[in-house]
A and B are shown apart, each in its own frame.
Chain A
């Protein structure tokens, strides 16, 4: 059992505070009357009002979430099963393909975006959600693959064997022993993928079509006209919603524990 020493809390708390400091500043400035962050003109909710009048931003948010979830789930399935099978499979060149799958990490986004655009139009794929998902899955796979491969290195295979010895079928052993042991790695990989996908603008701009805008595209294409604080407002709401969801989940869990 892990014991709590108060002193051990200090460093994580300091780091967490530093993580949130700039975000809180952004949140505070979403209530700024002025369009510029260099001047505080007094408290105002006008950016929130503008945000809710702008359907296209909310639609873009929906697209971004859908895209992030779909591509990180797809990438998780593809990368996890590949990491598990890699040692035993006998496919030709598999170790080269393993390295190949990691390459999207190294190629600068802007070049990746450009070549995706050229390649997809060569294949004749219609630009839109489909091409976005393919491109995002391609750069999500490396995050999950590296995390899972690292976890496999440490995995205690004797537990799996023990389960098999006790008569568990291959599938049962996989779902009850292997997967739970890998899940922290899969989760952190999926999370990093989601984060990268949710924040990606360069690749998305190149591979999206007429009808799909994502949130980062909305944000970064304001270069020409100046960033509007309604994006601050949106991010503040999203932050609040995620914290709220976590709090509710925590409370439900607690109640659940109390009565069971």
Chain B
């Protein structure tokens, strides 16, 4: 017992020491930044604290839904700046949890890539500034795959038996089957969704794993030969093994946007605006996108992104923008159909 107590006591001491050394309110107040861990390089945050005298309090959530529940519980207060996914922002705005941006305080707003503006969640760009976009691609290892992969349909190829990895997100994966059938990601026709589910069931023999974490490692170690995964994972995989191929599926590109917004009762909205302006600086933005591994949403930053990253952090110029579609909120009935199809599919993967 004494031993355990000793370990605990020393850890506690270590903990309290570091806790004391860590924070202390900045002289110009605090910015409560609410987003996932690892969204900004340490030096950019430090630079902001230094130049503005505002202390950053970095608070994290795991899922967008958690963020929404916390924001609801705080009634739009507590947090100054939130970065989350598009679809949840649509709900947050509808619930009155977001305040319109004061564009006068963000002179660099023109740096944003117009492709990522005026989207469904904020049609007039009154509330949000995008920060990074996820683009659905297929990644494969050409050394182990005989066929050339051009689109989602090629994942159904019998040659890929037990060697495909996918992320655990039914709108992305179900949407992939919808695309193969020539439908929209956002169709609300349950018959279409059910048909896509049946199509997906035929993919089951090729599926080796369905998971969200570390999937890039499985591609590199040879556990799987092709994968549909999150953009940051694609970036990490490609950085580690440049021989991997990234494919923009010929059926069409699905994409999602992460955006920054200021909650309706943010205690320090002014600091939030300062932070947005700070990140929109072209050079600093480039540093952030390289670190983040998501597609760059600021046109002005593109030229500053290092050559080695640019190929997969900016969209290829030849891409037809008509083919791009965002994954949006759909009706509960359509959602239920997706889930039913998804669980039936997972049950078939053995």
Contacts and interface: CB of A to CB of B under 8 A. Distances in A.
Q: Do A and B come into direct contact in the complex, CB within 8 Å?
A: yes
Interface of A: 34-39, 50, 53-56, 58-59, 61-66, 69, 114, 117-118, 120-121, 127, 183, 187, 191, 194, 201-202, 205-206, 209-211, 213, 217-228, 238, 241-242, 245-246, 249-250
B255 interface: no
B220 A205 contact: no
Contacts of A117: 69-70, 73
Contact of B230 (A53, A217, A224): A224
Interface string B327-344: 000000000000000000
A129 B218 CA distance: 38
A150 B155 CA distance: 55
Given A213-B60, A223-B212, A218 B23 contact: no
Interface stretch (B37-45, B119-127, B187-195): B37-45
B240 interface: yes
Given A36-B236, A224-B230, A241 B61 contact: no
Interface string B265-309: 000000000000000000000000000110000000000000000
Interface string B13-28: 0111111011100000
A212 to B, nearest CB: 9
Contacts, number: 155
B18 to A, nearest CB: 4
B11 A242 contact: yes
A222 B36 contact: yes
Given A34-B240, A38-B220, A223-B212, A58 B18 contact: yes
Interface residues of B, number: 56
Interface of B: 1-4, 6-8, 10-12, 14-19, 21-23, 32, 34, 36-39, 42, 57-62, 66, 69-70, 73-74, 78-79, 212-214, 216-218, 220-221, 230, 232-233, 236-237, 240-241, 292-293
B22 A69 contact: no
Contacts of B221: 38
Given A213-B59, A220-B62, A241-B10, A36 B4 contact: no
A221 B73 contact: no
Given A66-B19, A226-B232, A241-B14, 12 more contacts: A36-B217, A36-B236, A38-B221, A39-B240, A62-B15, A62-B16, A65-B8, A206-B69, A224-B36, A225-B38, A226-B233, A226-B236
